[in-house]
Structure 1
Amino acid sequence: MSGFSAELIDYLEGRITFEEFDRRRDERKVKVRLRGKVEVEESEKRRGKKGRRGRRKKKDEEEEEDEDEEDPTVGDVFALEMELNRENKKMMKERRHRSKLPRALRGLMGEANIRYARGEKEDAILMCMEIIRQAPLAYEPFSTLAMIYEDNEDVEKALQFGLIAAHLNPSDSDEWVRLAEMSLEQDNIRQAVVCYTKAIRYDPTNVRYLWERSNLHMRLGEQKHCMDGYRRILSLLPLEQGEHFMQLSKDMAKSYYESNDLTSALGVIEEALLRHPSLVTDDFINMAAELYIANRQYKKALQVPVDIVVLTEDACVSPGEIKDVQVPDSVPVDLRAKLIVCLIHMHVSAPLEVLLAPLMEQSPEEVGDLYLDVGEAYLEQGDYPSALPLLSALVISEKYNLAVVWLRHAECLKALGHMELAAESYSKVVEMAPLHLEARLSLATLQQQLGRPESALKALEPMYDSETLAQDSSAAQKELKLLLHRSTLLKTQGQTQDYLDAMITMISMLLKVAMQRAKVCVRSVTVSGQSHLRLLKIKDINRRNDGELVSCAGKTNVLSKEDWWQLLVSSLLTLCEVQRYEEAELLVDSAMEFYSFYDNKPKRKEMEFFGLSATILDHNHYKAYNYIRLMLMENVDLPQLWNIFNQLTITSLHQRHHRFCLRLLLKHPDSHALCVLCGHNAMVSGSFKHALGQYVQAFQTQPDNPLHSLCVGLTFFHMASQKYVAKRQALVLQGFSFLWRYLELRGECQESLYNLGRALHQLGLTHLAIHYYQAALKLPVQTLEVYDQVDLRREIAFNLSLIYQTSGNVEMARQIISTHCTV
C-alpha cells in the first residue's frame, strides 16, 4: 500500500511519467504473485504427511458415499445444469473489475459526487482526497477528480487523475481511448501509445484502435512496431473489406521497400495477391513486379501480369526456352518496361526488339524513368552499346537532365572506351552533384589517363569544411577516401609538400584524441605564398599565434589498421626526407598515445625506432636519450643500441647516463657492453680503481679483444700519474705489459702506435713518444667508407708539435703543424 502511494505521489508531482508509473505497478504485481506462490509452496511443505493422510481419508469416505448413491434421474441432471449455470455466471462476474471501495467509504463517495453535481467542487475535491488517503486502490475518487478538473479546464490534472482511474479500472477500453485523445491534445504521443495499448488489451479485435496506435508508432519513427500493427490489422480485416486490405498492403510494401526490407515487402504483396486476386489493379501489379525485380526474382516478375502471354518450348518457364512474349495493347507502358528489364536480366534477346520499339516511340520527357530502368538493366548485364542510345536520349532532355543520368552515361562511355566524352560526362556529374565521391574519383582517374594532372587534382579538391567534418561522420569518411586518392596522385606527380598536407590531414583524422593527449595540433601556415599544414606543439601555439589552427574529424573505419599503419610510416619517411624532423617527432608522439592502434608489440617497437631516428636527426638529444634508454632496458644485448647510446652520450654531454648504466648493471651483471661502459664512466669521473675492476672483468670475458687491453693499460697509467700513489713503478710496468699486449693484438697501425705514443707522452717519456708518433705518421690510413674519421695524422702532428714547442724547437713545431694540420 505504501509503495503504491509513493509511486502515485511521484506521478502526480511529475517526477515520473505515466508509462514509468504503469511499468512499476506491473513489476509490483509480478513480485506479489511470486511471493504468494512461494508462501503456498512453503505451506504445502509444512502440512506434510498429515495433510496427505487427511486427503486420503476424505477420498475413501467419498467413494463409500458414491457406492450408496443411486443412478441419477432427470431431475438430478436439471439440478446439475442449474448449478453449472450459476457457477458460470459467478465466474463471469468475477472477471469484471470489482470496486475496491470499502463499504464504510461508499457514503462519503456518494456525498462527494453530490457536492460535485451541486457545483461545490472544493468540498468534493477534499472528500475525494480523503477517500484516496484511506483507499488508494479505489478508482471512483480518481474518476470524480478527473471530471472536476476537466470542468475547471485544467486538462493536465484531469489527464493525470483520469489515467490513474483507468489504471485502477483497466477494462474500460473507451475510457483508455478518450485518455489517448487527451494525451495527443497535450502532444504526448508516447503516453497516447500506452493508452491505446491498454485499450487493445481489453478489445484486441478493434481495428480502429490498432490503426491509431500504428500511426502513432509511425510518427515516433518506430517502423517495426508500426508494421506489426498493420500486420495485425490485415489478419483482422474481413473479406468484405478487400479494398481496404489491398490499400494497406500497398502502403506496407512501400514502407518495407523504403527501409530495404524486400523480403517483408514481397511477403505482404504475395499475401494480397492470393487473398484478393479480383481486386488487383495495374498499379498493384506494377509494384509487385518492381519488388520482384528488385529482389532479382525475374521469373516470378514475368508471372505477375496476367495479360502477358509467355511462349516457350514446353510448359516450364525457363530463360533458354522463351521464344516470344505477347503483350496486349492494353498493358501500360510501365509494365512493358518492367517486362523488358526482366528479359534483359534473363538473357532473352529475341522479343526485345519488338518490345523496345513502342517504348522508344514515347518521349523521354514523359517516360524518362522507364528509359533509365531499361538502360541500367543493360549496364548491369554489360550490354553498353544497347544502353548508350537510351542514356544519350535522357541527358539531352529537360526533365531528366539529372546527375544520376549523367553518371550512368559516363559509366557507359567509359566502358566503351570513349574517354574524352566520359570525362565530359563525369565533369557534368561533379558540377551538378559536387558531393558525389565516386564521380570525383572516376573523373580524376580519367583526367590522369588523358595526361591532365592539374585537372585530376582539381577534381579531388576537398568537398567539406572542417566544421562539417567534425560534426558528420559520413562526410569524414567520404573526405578520407578523397584524400587517399589525392595523396597518391600528388606523390606520383612529385608534389611533396601538398602530399604531406593530405597525409597530415588523414592522420589527424585518426589521431585526433591522441594528438590532444600529446598536446600536438595541426596549423596552417603560409610558405612561399602557398598555404601548407604543419604539426606543432600546443604550448608553441600559445607563444606564437601566427598560424591558423585546423580542426579535423575523428577517426573513421574506411581503412583497416594495416592501411593506417602504412599511411603513418609513409608520412614519417616523407617528413624526414624533407628534413621536417621536429614534425616527425610530434607525429610519433601522437601515434604513441593512440593505444588501440598497436595490436602487436613489433609495431610499437618500430614506432619507437622512428621516434629515435627523428630525434637524433633533429639533434634533440634529451628526447633521443629517453627513447634509447627504454630500448636498452628491454634488450640489453643488442650492440647496435649500445653504439647509438654511446653516440648520444658523447654528443649530448649529459652525465645522467652514469647512474642508469650502474642500475642496469645490477640487473644484468653479465652484460659485456654494460661492463665496459661503466668502466668508461668511472674513468671519466676519476674512479680509477672502479674502472680497473670493470675493465678487468671485460678482459676476462674477452681476453683477445685489443680494446680491453688498451683500457686496462691506460687505467694503470692514470693511477700511476696521480700525486699520491704507492708502488708507482709497478703500476707503470703493468700498464706497459697491457699496452704491449694491445699492440700485438691490434698490430702496428696508426691507431696502435698513436695510443702508445700518447701513453708515453702522458708519463713524460717524450723521447720514446716522439719515436712512436713519427712511426705512426709514416703509416698509411686504413681504407674505410668514412675516411676522415680514422685518419689520425692531425692528432699525431698536434701532439708532436706540443713536444717540440715544450723543448724550445718552435720551428719544428710550426713545420709539423703547417704540413699536417693546415686545411
Structure 2
Amino acid sequence: MVIRNGEQGNIGQASYCLSKAIMADPKDVTLKLHRASLHVELGDYQKAAESFDQIYQLSPENIEALKTGAKLYQKGGQLEHSIRILEDYVKGHPSEADTSVIDLLASIFMESNSYDKALQLIEHAKLVYYSGKELPLNLTIKEGICHANLKNMEKAEVLFSILQRESVNDHSHLIAEAADSLMSLEHYDSALKYYLMLEGSAKGDNGFLYLKIGRCYLFLKERVQAIFFLYKVLQMLEDNIDARLTLASLLLEEAKEDDAISLLAPPKNFDSIELPPEKSKPWWLNEKVKLKLCTIYRDKAMVEEFVDAIFPLVRESLYVETLHPKVKVKKRLSRRVLFERVKVLNDRETENVFRGFRPVAPSSDLSKAARAKRLLQKKATIREKKKAEALASGADWQSDDSDDDPPQEVHREPPLPNLLKDEEHHRLIIDLCKSLASLQRYWEALEIINLTLRLAHSMLSVEKEEELRSLGAQIAYNTTDPKHGFDCVRYIVQQHPYSLAAWNCYYKVISRVDNRDSRHFKFLRGMLSKLVDCVPPIIIYAHQFTMASNHQHAATKYLEAYKRLPENPLINLCVGTALINLALGFRLQNKHQCLAQGLAFLYNNLRLCENSQEALYNIARAYHHVGLVTLAASYYEKVLAIREKDYPIPKLPCENPDIVGNQKPGYKPGYCDLRREAAYNLHLIYKKSGALDLARQVLKDHCTI
C-alpha cells in the first residue's frame, strides 16, 4: 500500500504509512530506504541524509548508503557532517577499506579546496591499504591534481604521465579530469596535450571538447589553431554564445572584419527558419551577439548598419524600464492556484482513513498551503454573504468569479538588462544618438536622449550626462521642431551661464518654439534673479518685448544691459533699434529726440565695429525706415563698396563636429556679405524716386546669378 500511494502521487500519505511501519519495525532497512527516497523527492536533503545514515548504522556493510548519505549532507550544505561520517569510516577500517569511499572523501576535500587534506588521505591509503600494491588509477590522478594545485608540477606531471600508457577510451573521464584541472591552473600546454589525446579517440559529439581545445590555443596565442577549432565547435554547438563571441574577437584580431560580421549577423531568411520547441531564443537574438555586432559596425564607421542593429534594442530597453512600476503590487492569486497549494495539506477528503496525518513537505510549502486555505475560506465566506444579500433583495444571484483567474501580467525583460547600469552601455547610447543625428533622425535621437536622462540621471557620470545634454541641445538647434530639446539647451545654459554660444543656442531654440513655451519665461526670470551680472538673459528678455512690439519695455531692458556693457556693439545696436522703433509710435511726444538718440547708438555701434559692412547696413536701414532716403542711399552705396568675409558659426560647448546637419543648407559661402540686401533696398529707393534705369542697373550688378 505504501508503494501504491507513492506511485499515485500521495507522498504525504505514503510518508505517514512509512513512519507508522518504521515505528512498528525500526530495523526494517527497506522501509527506511523508501522514506529516504520520499525525502529526496521532496527536496528535504537533511532528512534524506539522516535516513541513509540510519540505514548504514543498521547495515554497516551497506557502503552505498554511507556514500549516498554523505553526498546528501554535502548537497544540503552540511559539508563538515559529510566529511565526518566518511572520516569515521576510514578510522574504523585501519587495515582494509572500500576504495570508493576513499575516492569520495578525496573528491569532497578537493571540491572544498582542501588539497592538502586530500593528499594526506591518499598518502594514508597508499601506506595502509595499498602497501606494496599499485594505487588505483582514479586515486593516482587525484593525487596528481592535488600536487598541481599545491604547485608541485613536476610530481603532478609524473603522475599524469601514467595516462599516456592507458587506453584512452577506458579512462577518458580521468584524462578529462586531469586536463580540466591543468587548464584551471593556467597550465595550457599540459592541458592541451591531454585534450588532444581525447580528440584523437573521441567519437560523436565533441563540441565541448573542441571548445576546450580552442581556448587552450587561444591562451597560448596560437590564433590560427584556435579559430580552426572554434569553427568546429559552432558546427556542433551553433547556440554556444561564448564560442561565437570568442571566435568573432579572434577574427577581428586577424583583421577579418567581414568574416566576423558574417559570423554574428542573422542568417538569411531567418524569419522562415523553424526552431524546435525547446529552443526559446536563437543565437542571433542574443543581446551579447547583437552588442558585439554593433561594436564592429561602429568601429568600421558603418553608421546605418550600426543604428539598425542597436537602435531597436536600446529603445525597447528604455521603454521597458519606463513601464516597470516603482512600487511592487501584491499579486492576487487565482482560486486554481490556491487549490493547488492546499493540496499539500491533503486533508480535504473527510472520508479518508489517513485524515489528520502531518503532511510531509518543506516548511515554506506548508506555510503557503496554510495561507491559501485561509484565503479560500475567506473568499467562500464573502461569496456566501453576497449570495444571501442578493436573495434577500430579490435579485438574481450569479456567482461572480471574475477574480478567480485574474489576467496574468507578462513581465517584459529588457533586451539589454544592464543598459542603464553599465558604463560601457552609456557610451553605446551616446554613440547611438550621435549616429542618429548624423543620419538626421533627430526625433529618434532626442527620444533616446530624453529617456536616458530621465531614467539614468543618478547613474550617468557628470561628463556623459553633459555630453548627452549638449548633444540634445545641438539637435534642438538644428531641428525644425526644437521643443523636445528645451531641457537640454536649458541645462547647457545652466552649466555655462556666461557663454555667449550657449545663450545663442538657447535663444535660437526658443525663438522657434510655437505658442511661447511657459517654461522659457519661468526659467529666464529665474536666471535674471540669480545672475544679476549676466547680460545675455537681459538681452533675450528685451528681445521678447521687441517681438511683442513693446518697444518701450524693450528699450528699458536694453539700456539696463548697456549700463553693464557700454562698449558692446550688439547692445548699442539693440538700444538704437529699440529707440527708433519707439520714435515711430503714436504716443511718444519727443519723437525727434528719441530718433536722434537711437541714431547716436547706431553710430556708436559703427565706431565699435570699425565701420564694418554690417554696421553701415544697419544705419542705412534705419534711415530708410524713418524716410530719410537720401542718407539711406549713401550708406547703402558704402555697403556695396565693401566685400565682407565669412565668420565661423558659433558652436556649442562640447559640440560634436562630426554630426551632419550642423552646417545648415542656408549657411552657404558669402552668408556674412550684405551687398545683395543693400542693393535690393537701394533699388527700391531708386524705383520709388523714378530712377528706373538706376534701379535696374543695381539689380543687374548685384542681385543676378
Q: Which moved more, 1:353-362 or 1:448-457?
A: 353-362
Partner of 1:775: 638
Partner of 2:111: 294
Specify whether residues 205 and 676 from structure 1 end up closer, same or farther in structure 2 by C-alpha distance, changes over 3 A only. farther
CA RMSD after TM alignment: 4.5
Given the alignment, which residue of 43, 56, 61 partners 1:243? 61
1:695 CA displacement: 2.1
Partner of 2:361: none
Specify whether residues 474 and 710 from structure 1 end up closer, same or farther in structure 2 by C-alpha distance, changes over 3 A only. same
Partner of 2:682: 800
1:557 CA displacement: 4.5
Aligned mates of 1:708, 1:220 — CA distance in 2: 85
Gaps spanning 5+ residues in structure 1: where?
1-177, 312-325, 518-550
Instruction: Map Cα deviations across residues 616-664 of structure 1 (whole Å, 9 max, x no partner).
Output: 44432343346545766898665444211322344x3735158943784
Residues 473 and 505 in structure 2, CA contact (< 8 A), matched pair in contact too: no
Residues 239 and 283 in structure 2, CA contact (< 8 A), matched pair in contact too: no
Specify whether residues 657 and 347 from structure 1 end up closer, same or farther in structure 2 by C-alpha distance, changes over 3 A only. closer
Partner of 1:496: 303
Aligned mates of 1:475, 1:264 — CA distance in 2: 44
Q: How does 1:666-677 map to 2 (within 5 A)?
A: 668-669=528-529, 670=532, 672-677=535-540
Partner of 2:383: none
Partner of 1:746: 609
Gaps spanning 5+ residues in structure 2: where?
325-411, 650-668
Partner of 1:487: 294
1:394 CA displacement: 1.3
1:201 CA displacement: 12
1:281 CA displacement: 0.8
Q: Which moved more, 1:408-417 or 1:590-599?
A: 590-599
Instruction: Map Cα deviations across residues 477-520 of structure 1 (whole Å, 9 max, x no partner).
Output: 99333333333333334433333344335525642414769xxx
Q: How does 1:562-641 map to 2 (within 5 A)?
A: 562-594=423-455, 598=459, 604=465, 606-625=467-486, 627-628=488-489, 639-641=500-502
Specify whether residues 494 and 785 from structure 1 end up closer, same or farther in structure 2 by C-alpha distance, changes over 3 A only. closer
Amino acid at match of 1:303: Q
Residues 665 and 675 in structure 1, CA contact (< 8 A), matched pair in contact too: no
Specify whether residues 620 and 713 from structure 1 end up closer, same or farther in structure 2 by C-alpha distance, changes over 3 A only. closer
Specify whether residues 730 and 598 from structure 1 end up closer, same or farther in structure 2 by C-alpha distance, changes over 3 A only. same
Partner of 2:648: 785
Specify whether residues 583 and 250 from structure 1 end up closer, same or farther in structure 2 by C-alpha distance, changes over 3 A only. same
Amino acid at match of 1:731: C
Residues 35 and 51 in structure 2, CA contact (< 8 A), matched pair in contact too: no
* 3-state SS, counterpart of residue 139 of structure 2: helix
Amino acid at match of 2:196: S
Aligned mates of 2:518, 2:152 — CA distance in 1: 86
Residues 715 and 735 in structure 1, CA contact (< 8 A), matched pair in contact too: yes
Specify whether residues 698 and 194 from structure 1 end up closer, same or farther in structure 2 by C-alpha distance, changes over 3 A only. farther
Specify whether residues 731 and 782 from structure 1 end up closer, same or farther in structure 2 by C-alpha distance, changes over 3 A only. same
Residues 509 and 556 in structure 1, CA contact (< 8 A), matched pair in contact too: no
Aligned mates of 2:291, 2:131 — CA distance in 1: 52
Q: Which moved more, 1:744-753 or 1:781-790?
A: 781-790
Partner of 2:49: 230
* 3-state SS, counterpart of residue 365 of structure 1: coil
Specify whether residues 405 and 717 from structure 1 end up closer, same or farther in structure 2 by C-alpha distance, changes over 3 A only. closer
Q: Which moved more, 1:581-590 or 1:471-480?
A: 471-480
Partner of 2:9: 187
Partner of 2:576: 713
Partner of 2:211: 407
Given the alignment, which residue of 443, 460, 464 partners 2:247? 443
Q: Which moved more, 1:662-671 or 1:408-417?
A: 662-671
Aligned mates of 1:662, 1:298 — CA distance in 2: 72
Partner of 1:370: 174
Instruction: Map Cα deviations across residues 56-83 of structure 1 (whole Å, 9 max, x no partner).
Output: xxxxxxxxxxxxxxxxxxxxxxxxxxxx
Aligned mates of 2:282, 2:647 — CA distance in 1: 57
Instruction: Map Cα deviations across residues 293-318 of structure 1 (whole Å, 9 max, x no partner).
Output: 3334333323334686479xxxxxxx
Instruction: Map Cα deviations across residues 526-552 of structure 1 (whole Å, 9 max, x no partner).
Output: xxxxxxxxxxxxxxxxxxxxxxxxx97
* 3-state SS, counterpart of residue 619 of structure 1: coil
* 3-state SS, counterpart of residue 201 of structure 2: coil
Partner of 2:225: 421
- TM-score normalised to the size of structure 2? 0.71
Q: Which moved more, 1:778-787 or 1:348-357?
A: 348-357
Aligned mates of 1:351, 1:327 — CA distance in 2: 20
Instruction: Map Cα deviations across residues 307-337 of structure 1 (whole Å, 9 max, x no partner).
Output: 86479xxxxxxxxxxxxxx985553332233
Residues 658 and 681 in structure 1, CA contact (< 8 A), matched pair in contact too: no
Amino acid at match of 1:734: Q
Residues 403 and 428 in structure 1, CA contact (< 8 A), matched pair in contact too: yes
Higher RCO, 1 vs 2 (CA within 8 Å, ≥6 residues apart): 2
Residues 801 and 813 in structure 1, CA contact (< 8 A), matched pair in contact too: yes
Residues 365 and 399 in structure 1, CA contact (< 8 A), matched pair in contact too: no
Residues 215 and 226 in structure 1, CA contact (< 8 A), matched pair in contact too: no
Aligned mates of 2:469, 2:18 — CA distance in 1: 64
Aligned mates of 1:625, 1:230 — CA distance in 2: 67
Q: How does 1:83-94 map to 2 (within 5 A)?
A: none
Matched, 1:726 2:589: yes
Instruction: Map Cα deviations across residues 754-782 of structure 1 (whole Å, 9 max, x no partner).
Output: 22222112221122222222223334425
Partner of 2:200: 396
Partner of 1:254: 71
Specify whether residues 510 and 208 from structure 1 end up closer, same or farther in structure 2 by C-alpha distance, changes over 3 A only. farther
- TM-score normalised to the size of structure 1? 0.62
Amino acid at match of 1:288: L
Amino acid at match of 1:285: I
Matched, 1:513 2:320: yes
Amino acid at match of 2:580: F
* 3-state SS, counterpart of residue 239 of structure 2: coil
1:376 CA displacement: 2.8
Aligned mates of 2:30, 2:321 — CA distance in 1: 56
Partner of 2:544: 681
Amino acid at match of 2:428: L
Aligned mates of 1:220, 1:477 — CA distance in 2: 39
Residues 646 and 673 in structure 2, CA contact (< 8 A), matched pair in contact too: no
Residues 504 and 571 in structure 1, CA contact (< 8 A), matched pair in contact too: yes
Matched, 1:665 2:525: yes
Specify whether residues 818 and 653 from structure 1 end up closer, same or farther in structure 2 by C-alpha distance, changes over 3 A only. farther
Q: Which moved more, 1:662-671 or 1:636-645?
A: 662-671
1:351 CA displacement: 5.8
Q: Which moved more, 1:703-712 or 1:763-772?
A: 703-712
Residues 49 and 68 in structure 2, CA contact (< 8 A), matched pair in contact too: no
